Amino acid sequence: MNAKLFLEDGTKFIGKAFGSKNTKIGEICFNTSFCGYQEILTDPSYFGQIITFTSPLVGNYGITNDAYESSEIHCFGVVIKELSEKVFYKESVLTLNDFLKNYGIPGIEGVDTRKLTKIIRTKGALKTLITTENLSDSEAFELLEKTENVYLGNLTTFVSRKTVEHRKLQNPKFKVAVYDFGVKENILQNLIQRGCELVIFPAETSYEEILKINPDGIFLSNGPGNPEAVLKGIENIKNLLGKKTIFGICLGHQLLALSIGIETEKLKFGHRGGNHPVKNLETGKIEITPQNHGFNIKESTFDKTQGVKITHKNINDGTIEGIELTELNAFSVQYHPESSPGPNDANYLFNKFIRRMEQAKNTETPSIF
């Protein structure tokens, strides 16, 4: 069965359908990773996007029970050059084709993904329609034109937990409040492995509710969409600054910046892949990092009187990849230190969070009440 891909600039691609029989509209993006497609598909940060995989063959090791970053697929569509007909991994429990079918996600294969990626790099992240249904070209373009680009709004409530989740440990060293803006499972596991008991809160939980549990630290997670639209999140972080140790990743990094008046901007086509070089300005070392974001924070809007230190920069385009609020015991990075694209260059950031919570614990003034 044929599948079609329509871009808002008028470009059309025809390929072979796989996955679910469906029509979806989202923002087209590309990911340069050569493996990890299951982790990418289940990353909540991709909500509202149609993912183009630049790796030419996808699906050859199937789907496994231990590679979920969340409980479902969050992207709106999948574009690939070639779908592997066979699965070559004994731990696989599903094919990629069946995985997409289970979650109602359309896929198209046989697309010239190099050509498509060049279009995205030249024209930016375009609004796109993917269909595996019998939709005419005129119907598709009309539907595409009248549908808003969902990725420009606040999407955190679509992917966040609806209720508080408590992950208890036998003898926890720390209690961490996690703001779930679309948190990945790997992040939670990194904190648990370091002795952190987690209380995971929905995205719009008030700062008062966070402080009620008296956490040692607060973690601001990754997530999808436009950071400037996450108004409640920004306001809550503003009220938490200086009260507890804070660590943010990706969207959490952007929200931390917004909470002190730094602005964000949309990147032309974003950073998505497993091998983005980032310079640690404190050590001079280059870290190979996994990334997935379409926005970044604007260096031109920094107020130097706020005690903001830039800690990391992207080697490819010079964008900011990390900041520290030196007087407020808060720091954040734009990339995903929990992922392992080969090197584990960024694992030290979780240890830094632990050290900061430990230091804060040791310097706390005992209450007289």
- Is 250 catalytic? The answer is yes
Instruction: Report CA-CA distances (Å) from 12 to 1, 6, 17, 54, 98.
Output: 17, 5, 15, 18, 26
Tokens in use for 191? 């904190």
- Is 253 catalytic? The answer is no
- Pick the catalytic residue from 250, 253, 287, 293: 250
Residue 324 and residue 302 in contact, taking contact as beta carbons nearer than 8 Å: no
DSSP letter for each residue of 208-277: HHHHHT--SEEEE----B-GGG-HHHHHHHHHHTTTSEEEEETHHHHHHHHHTT--EEEEEEEEEEEEEE
Q: Which region, left, alpha or beta, applies to residue 27 given φ > 0 means left and ψ of -120 to 50 means alpha?
A: beta
Which candidate, 198, 202, 205, 200, places its Cα nearest to that of 236?
205
- Pick the catalytic residue from 8, 109, 321, 338: 338
Coil vs helix vs strand at 61: coil
- Is 145 catalytic? The answer is no
Coil vs helix vs strand at 11: coil
One-letter amino acid for residue 95 of the chain = T
Residue 223 and residue 251 in contact, taking contact as beta carbons nearer than 8 Å: yes
**CA–CA gap between residue 110 and residue 128 (Å, rounded):** 17
Instruction: Report CA-CA distances (Å) from 100 to 50, 59, 202.
Output: 13, 11, 26
Please list the active-site residues. 250, 336, 338
